[in-house]
Amino acid sequence: MIKRKRITKAVFPVAGLGTRFLPATKVIPKEMLPVVDRPLIQYAMEEAREAGITDFIFVTNNTNRPLLERYFGDNESLNATLSRGGKIAELKLVSETVVDPRNLHFCIQEQPLGLGHAVWCAYEFVAGEPFAVILPDDLIQAKPGCLTQMLDVWCERGGNVVAVEDVPRDRTNRYGILDVVSDDGRIASARGLVEKPAPKDAPSTLSIIGRYILDEAVFDHLNKSMAGAGGEIQLTDAISATIGTGKGQVPFHGLRFDGTRFDCGSMTGFVEANVALALASSEYKEYLRERLKRHL
């Protein structure tokens, strides 16, 4: 087996305005909305840390950046108040959110030009090495975490690795869809990608969700800043351009991860995530069960 250098950097595209969650997101970034007891961005960070990521690159906007810096920074006043009150458990929870500022990096996406553009904005921090991309909108309940599972596949096979799910054919126009060469039921090898194809044109029903491990070759194509579907710079187009086994090209695999994904970019998925994670907690499980019995 080829020994590969450990991946230590992850990009978090969080520059969106969260318009589907207005008015809540008028002053609170969508990634800071809580699912049960912690914000979406913390679930993403915890998944990254479990996978061995040590450098966290946020592609954000000028409004959201200060809030993220404060959340992942140390709050000495709060720490002192909790300590004086003997609230040791709460102090521990707060301390677990702190990230060394030397490992936090921020870049600004001035215009909403697509996911490919957001990743391109992080070029100076990740150029020259493979890296991960995590979309906090996709909260994934999994043990081990989805990114850890993907890194196991990457260590074995290299190239680009994405998390995938099968979707109904009539919904392929919402996702990047794999053009599959082989599929063992867990790992699919692909020769290409199609961004949001019409159901009749979709090469499969295997869709990419918000987890990527990308070879640095993707920037050779993102640097061209070519618009794709919807007039945006599509990450899937850049990935597709790198796929192959020849010189300058890389293999591409989709992993059907073990776990449950919640699309928290939609209100339905956000509510589903809150219910599912609350049911997984002994603190809320019995209450929810009793409440549901009364209303069903």
**Residue ranges per domain, the chain?**
9-17+27-265
pLDDT tens, position by position, 262-277 = 999 999 999 999 999 9
Confidence class for position 44, pLDDT limits 50, 70, 90: very high
Residues 128 and 252 sit within 8 Å (Cβ to Cβ) = no
| pLDDT at residue number 227 | 52
- Tens of pLDDT, residues 131-158: 999 999 999 999 999 999 999 999 999 8
The pLDDT tens digits for 171-204 are 999 888 999 999 998 999 998 888 889 999 999 9
Residue 195 CB-half CA count within 13 A: 18
Q: DSSP assignment, residue 243?
A: B
Lowest model confidence (mean pLDDT) among 34-43, 92-101, 217-226: 217-226
Residue 287 has pLDDT above 90, yes or no: no
Where is average pLDDT lowest: 21-25, 105-109, 244-248, 284-288?
244-248
Looking at 97-101, 153-157, 232-236, 285-289, which range is the least confident one? Answer: 232-236
Retrieve residue 77's tokens: 């006043």
Residue 123, CA atoms < 13 Å, CB-side half-sphere:
13
Percent of the chain with pLDDT over 90: 67
* CA nearest to 214, candidates 164, 179, 162: 162
Residue 49 has pLDDT above 70, yes or no: yes
Does the structure show a pLDDT above 60 at 1?
no
Residue 280: what pLDDT? 86
- CATH T-level assignment (fold) for domain 9-17+27-265: Spore Coat Polysaccharide Biosynthesis Protein SpsA; Chain A (3.90.550)
Statement: residue 248 has pLDDT above 80: no
What pLDDT is attached to residue 234?
80
Average pLDDT for 240-245: 78
Tokens 């404060």 sit at which residue? Answer: 70
User: Structure tokens of 256?
Assistant: 């059907």
Rounded Cα distance between 219 and 120, Å, is 7
